[in-house]
Amino acid sequence: MSQFIVDGNNCLKGNVSISGSKNSALPIITSTILFKCPVEISNIPDMGDVRILIQIMKDIGVKVDQLSPDTFRFDASGDIESDLSKIKGVSTIRGSQTLLGAILGRNHEVILPVLGGCPIGARPMDIHFQGMKKLGAVIENKGNRKYFKAKKLQGTHVYLDYSSVGATENLILTAMSAEGITIIENAAQEPEVVDLVYLLNQAGARISGIGSSTLQIIGKSALKRIKFSVMPDRIETGTFMLCAVMTKGKIQIEDCCVQDMSSLLFKLRDIGVKVEIRGQSSLLVEMDKRSSSFNIRTMPFPGFPTDLQSPMLSLACLAGGTSIISETVYENRFNVVPELRKMGANIMTNDKIATITGVEKMFGAEVQCPDLRGGISLVLAALAADGKSYIHRASVVDRGYQFIEKKLQRLNASIVRVEDENGYIR
C-alpha cells in the first residue's frame, strides 16, 4: 500500500489533458468478446481496474497485444472461457460485470461469481438477471455462484426497473447475439453507454435510439474489424474542474468532452466559478474567491453524476454557507465523511442526505481513502487545506485515475506518493 503526502494551500495552475474513460473502457473491452476478428481500441486509460480487466481478458482466452501505451488489439477468435469463477480478479472489480452479457451471447453459458467493486452499496444485479431471463437464459444458484444457460437467445421487450448503467450495457451485449429485435425501455443514457453503442454500430451492429431511454437492438449482425477510441473520462474532467475551484486556481482542461459536463458546469457557474468553453474538448476553469454554497441531488444521466458527489462534498466543506447533498444512487457514498471531519469539515448526515456548513479553512490530517471517489475527494480537500495531509490507501484512487499525482504536480500541487509501510491504524 502507498500513501499520498500533500502539502496544501497551493493555487493550481496550468493545463491538464484528460485520459480515456474508465467506465467506458471497461464495457468496451469486454464487448470485444463478441467479435470473431481483432479489434483495436485506443485511448484506454492506464488505471487499476482496467489493468485487472485486461489480465482477465487474457485469462479467458482473448489474445491481447499492446500496440502503444494506450492502444490494445483484442482478438477473441479463439475459445473463450465461460467459468468466470475460475478467473482471478473477476470478483474484485465491478467492471467485470459486462463479461456476463458478452460471454452469454458468445457461449450461451456463463458461471458468475459474486462481483466486487467499491464498498459504496449492496450493488445487486437483479435487473441484469431479469433482462437475461427474458432473453432466454435460465439461471441457477449454486453456493455463491450463478449458472447461466441459454439454449437460444431470443429478442424481447424489457423494461428496466431502474436505468442501471451495467444492466443496460449487459443486455445490449447479450441482445447482440439474440435472434430478432430487442427493445430496452428505461435504458441508461450515460455517455459511457452511448460510447459502447457507437463502437458496436461502427462495427456493423444495428442499434437505434442512441442516447435515449429506449434502445432497439437488431441481433445477429456480423461484426467487422474496426479501430475505436474511448471517450474522455467525464469524472476525471470534473475532478480537475473542482481542483481549480477548491484551490482558487486556473486550469485549462484539454481532451475532454464539454457536452458531457453540463450538470457540473451549470452548478459551478451558479456558485461563482468562471468556466470558459473553448471548443468541444477544452474548458478553462478559474476561481478567485470562496464559492457559494449549493444543493445537489445525484441522478442517472443527464442528472448530477454520483461519481462526482464525493468531490463536491469536499467543495461544500469550504463553501460560504450551508449546502445540501442528496445521494440517490448508492447507500454508502458518505463513507468519506468521518475522514473529512478529521480535516475540520462540518458535515451532518442523515441517511442519504448530507448537510454541510462550510468552514473558512480545512487543515491537513492523517486520513484514509474509503473508496475511489471518496479517496479523490480527500486529495482535493488536502490540496486546499492548510498544512500537510497523509492520505493512506492511495492505491484505491489509482483504480480510476491515471497518473493522478503526476498530473497534479504539473499543476503546481505539492503531492508525493510514498510507500506506506505501517499502513494506517485508526
Q: Is 148 in the site for ligand EPU (CB under 6 A)?
A: no
Give 162 or 266: the residue with its C-beta nearer to ligand EPU: 162
Please state the closest distance from residue 95 (CB atom) to ligand EPU, in A: 4
Please state the closest distance from residue 346 (CB atom) to ligand EPU, in A: 25
310: DSSP letter: H
Q: Is 146 in the site for ligand EPU (CB under 6 A)?
A: no
Q: Is 124 in the site for ligand EPU (CB under 6 A)?
A: yes
Q: Could you tell me the CA-to-CA distances from 73 to 76, 192, 203 in Å, in that order?
A: 10, 20, 15
- The verdict on whether 257 is a catalytic residue reads no
Cα–Cα distance for residue pair 394/383, rounded to 1 Å: 15
Q: Which residue is nearest to ligand EPU (CB)?
A: 166
Residue 13: Cβ-neighbour burial (10 angstroms; 0-12, 13-18, 19+): middle
Q: Is 248 in the site for ligand EPU (CB under 6 A)?
A: no
Q: Is 330 in the site for ligand EPU (CB under 6 A)?
A: yes
* Angle, CA of 247, 249 and 253, to the nearest 5°: 115
Scan residues 79-118 and list those touching ligand EPU (CB under 6 A). Answer: 94-95, 118
Cα–Cα distance for residue pair 254/232, rounded to 1 Å: 10
- Binding residues with ligand EPU: total (CB under 6 A): 27
Task: Determine which residue in the list 128, 146, 234, 393 makes contact with ligand EPU, applying CB under 6 A.
Answer: 128
Task: Determine which residue in the list 34, 125, 378, 411 makes contact with ligand EPU, applying CB under 6 A.
Answer: 125
- Nearest Cα residue to 168 out of 131, 200, 198, 204: 131
What is the DSSP pairing of strand 109-113 with strand 71-75?
unpaired
Q: Is 127 in the site for ligand EPU (CB under 6 A)?
A: yes
Are 70 and 46 in contact, with CB atoms under 8 Å apart?
A: yes
Cα–Cα distance for residue pair 215/201, rounded to 1 Å: 13
Site string for ligand EPU, 251-290 (x = CB under 6 A): ----------------------------------------
Placement of cell 425501455 in the chain? 185
Are 127 and 167 in contact, with CB atoms under 8 Å apart?
A: yes
Give 126 or 140: the residue with its C-beta nearer to ligand EPU: 126
Q: Is 23 in the site for ligand EPU (CB under 6 A)?
A: yes
Q: Is 78 in the site for ligand EPU (CB under 6 A)?
A: no
Cβ-based neighbour number of residue 210 at 10 Å: 12
Task: Determine which residue in the list 233, 254, 307, 339 makes contact with ligand EPU, applying CB under 6 A.
Answer: 307
Q: Catalogue the active-site residues.
A: 118
